[in-house]
Amino acid sequence: MENTLYAFGDSFSEPIDVLTELSPNNDRTKYARNYLNSDSFPIWAELLANNLNYNYENYSAIAGVDLDILQKGNSNYHILYNLNEKCHEFKKNDIVIVGFTTITRFPIPLENTGVVTKLVSMEHDNFDKKENDLYDLLAYNRSRFSFYKEELLQLLKPIEILSDSIGFHLYYWSWVDDVLNYKFEEKLLDRRWIVPQRLNKEDIDYRFIQHLELYGKPKIIDETNGDIDDHHLGKVGNEIQYKIFLEYIKKDLGI
């Protein structure tokens, strides 16, 4: 294996074996143990790498690079930080897949206690009510204004130029409809955006997870009939996503 498939993203791209090691009591590990008789299961990116006979490296969420002051996180900023840290390693014909999270997430530095990734209505002991209300307003406004979606697209331009220059294959996806639907018509013309390529132009109000549900029960909560209240993809969902992405990437690469 000479080339590598790199995955970057939030918890929907997170490797379960690393998650189990660093957070052994999480619901996805509980699902693996109770329903799969294992501590782990392969996510879609690992299945892709194995099928394509690529090396596999994943820097998503808890498996991301620990960046000292910036630390780890589940925001698009941390996803971009990890891309910046690893981009010097990308070689011609490598595959780099970036999964974006919700725009409402953003990192907040805390004095002497690290960094927290803020979501709407996510309480944090280090914030008083006034601070929580302020951060909720900021998160809410991030979802309202196109500024933050446009910012994300703008920040991707250097990695796109690097991809064209070096010759590695760069792909984007997201489970978040706000990210997918912003400038949807332009994404239909951009081969890097995997998910929109599978749609018709009239499918503007699109939700990726709903699409996966056409092929089975992708979410852990559904696969376990509500026993485990986790909306991440389980074994079934990751296999569905893998097959969809494999079909698209093979066609795009002409293999």
Answering whether pTM is above 0.85, one says yes
pLDDT in tens, 188-200: 889 999 988 776 5
Express each pLDDT in 219-238 by its tens digit: 999 999 999 999 999 999 99
Across all residues in the chain, what is the average pLDDT? 90
Could you tell me which of 63, 84, 77 has the C-alpha nearest to residue 20?
63
Domain annotation covers residue 186: yes
Average pLDDT over residues 75-93: 96
For residue 141, being part of any structural domain is answered with no
In the chain, the number of structural domains is 1
pLDDT tens digit sequence for 143-169: 899 999 999 999 999 999 999 999 999
**How does strand 55-58 pair with strand 95-100?**
unpaired
More confident position, 112 or 236? 236
Q: Is pLDDT above 80 for 207? A: no
pLDDT score of 1 more than 70 = no
Q: How confident is the model at residue 204 (pLDDT cuts 50, 70, 90)?
A: very low
What pLDDT is recorded for position 34? 96
* Domain span holding position 248: 4-103+147-253
pLDDT score, position 46: 98
Q: Is 177 contained in some domain?
A: yes
- Model pLDDT, residue 137: 86
Report which of 240, 242, 234 is spatially closest to residue 40, judged by C-alpha positions: 234
Q: Pull the structure tokens for residue 85.
A: 């840290």
171 residue type, one letter: Y
Does residue 139 form part of some domain? no
Question: Which pLDDT value is given to residue 44?
Answer: 98
CATH number of the domain to which 242 belongs: 3.40.50.1110
Asked if 46 and 56 touch (Cβ cutoff 8 Å), the reply is: yes
Torsion 203-206-210-212 (CA) sign: positive
Distance CA 249, CA 255 (A): 8
Across 232-253, average pLDDT: 96
Instruction: Measure the CA–CA gap between 136 and 120, rounded to whole angstroms.
Output: 5
Question: Stretch 109-116: mean pLDDT, rounded?
Answer: 74
